[in-house]
Amino acid sequence: MPALAPAKINLSLEIVGKRSDGFHELVSVMQEVTLFDELVFAEADDLILEAHGECGPESENLVLRAARLLRQTVEIGKGAAIGLRKQIPTGAGLGGGSSDGAAALMALNRLWDAGCHCETLSRMAAFLGSDVPFFLTGGTALVTGRGEHVVPVPFPRTAWYVLTNPGLHVSTARVFTALPPTEWSSGSHTRKFAEEIRDGDPSHLGVNGLAPTLFALYPEAEACFQAADRAAPGQTWVSGSGPTVVSRCAGPHNAERVAAQLHRLGYTTFVVRNYPTEDRDLPCRA
């Protein structure tokens, strides 16, 4: 059983404050894009993962953690042989590991005939990580709380982006830990932005409340942002805790031109568009 795990970008991200559990309350518009990790699932006696590409330590792997959590939750004794081909850079602000975890929950729920619906899957997803619940809804969504409240935002058109990555691993925890309360905001800009998306194509960009802290900790991330902003003036922002930056482009040809320019400077680039939800079996997309 094959599955695609798409990357996400944050079209807008505001940090509202800090919660008593140490996590931050956020308001974000997230969108899936057409850069994928590829997974394949087959029934097996044990739980085994064969990964190709850069994945990080196996103990932290969200595919295995998702599989174990589902098995424990539904008290199923089955195993699975899972193949994972990584294409989404890790520590990049693109939610690759979270998307892999969500893809594993959804695929194994089917493979094992576990019968979990949105609510149970969402609870498991939120336990695995703040960005995981979004991928059960997919498409474009307004995400609040720690990341567990996800409301779909209709996006019935194609948007083109260039993703530019400076090949730097960013620790999300490090950025959040260093974030001063002066960077918190009410979330109203992002909520308004979500409304504008519903009504059409907003002329302006979203915001990212983590960007100044990211740039202070990782100067290479700011250099990458500036290079992309020169290639696509006024159309570039940081995704999540970075360091990947997103440049909004008028169409595929414009995107290829911007990507080629940044590639020549030594950056890894991806030309992507938003990944629509039609014809996909997403458990939390009503």
Cβ proximity to ligand C5P: between 12 and 235 the closer is 12
Active site residue 131: yes
264 token code pair: 């020549």
The residues facing 236 across adjacent strands are 247
Residues in Cβ contact with 253 at an 8 Å cutoff, skipping those fewer than 6 apart: none
CB 205 within 8 A of CB 58: no
The active-site residue, picked from 8, 37, 86, 100, is: 8
Comparing CB distances to ligand C5P, the nearer of 96 and 138 is 96
User: Which residue, among 206, 222, 205, has the nearest Cα to 214 in the 3D structure?
Assistant: 222
Q: Does residue 129 belong to the site contacting ligand C5P (CB under 6 A)?
A: yes
CB nearer ligand C5P, residue 80 or residue 179: 179
Verify whether residue 192 is a known catalytic residue.
no
Binding mask 26-65 for ligand C5P (x = CB under 6 A): x---------------------------------------
**Whole-number minimum distance, CB 96 to ligand C5P, in Å?**
12
CB of 140 vs ligand C5P, minimal distance in Å: 19
Between 130 and 236, CB nearer to ligand C5P: 130
Footprint (CB under 6 A) of ligand C5P, residues 232-271: none
For ligand C5P, give the closer residue by CB, 78 or 146.
Answer: 146
Nearest-CB residue to ligand C5P?
130
- Does 130 sit near ligand C5P (CB under 6 A)? yes
Site for ligand C5P in 168-187 (CB under 6 A): 172-173, 176
Whether 58 and 7 have beta carbons less than 8 Å apart is answered as no
Work out how close the CB of 130 gets to ligand C5P at its nearest, in angstroms, rounded to a whole number. 3
87 binds ligand C5P per the rule CB under 6 A: no
Identify which of residues 148 and 229 has a Cβ nearer to ligand C5P in the complex.
148
- How far, rounded to the nearest angstrom, does the alpha carbon of residue 105 sit from its chain's CA centroid? 16
Minimal distance, residue 241 CB to ligand C5P, in Å = 7
Query: Which of the following is catalytic: 37, 86, 100, 131?
Result: 131
Residues lying near ligand C5P in the complex (CB under 6 A) are found at 23-24, 26, 129-131, 146-147, 172-173, 176
Residues annotated as catalytic are: 8, 131
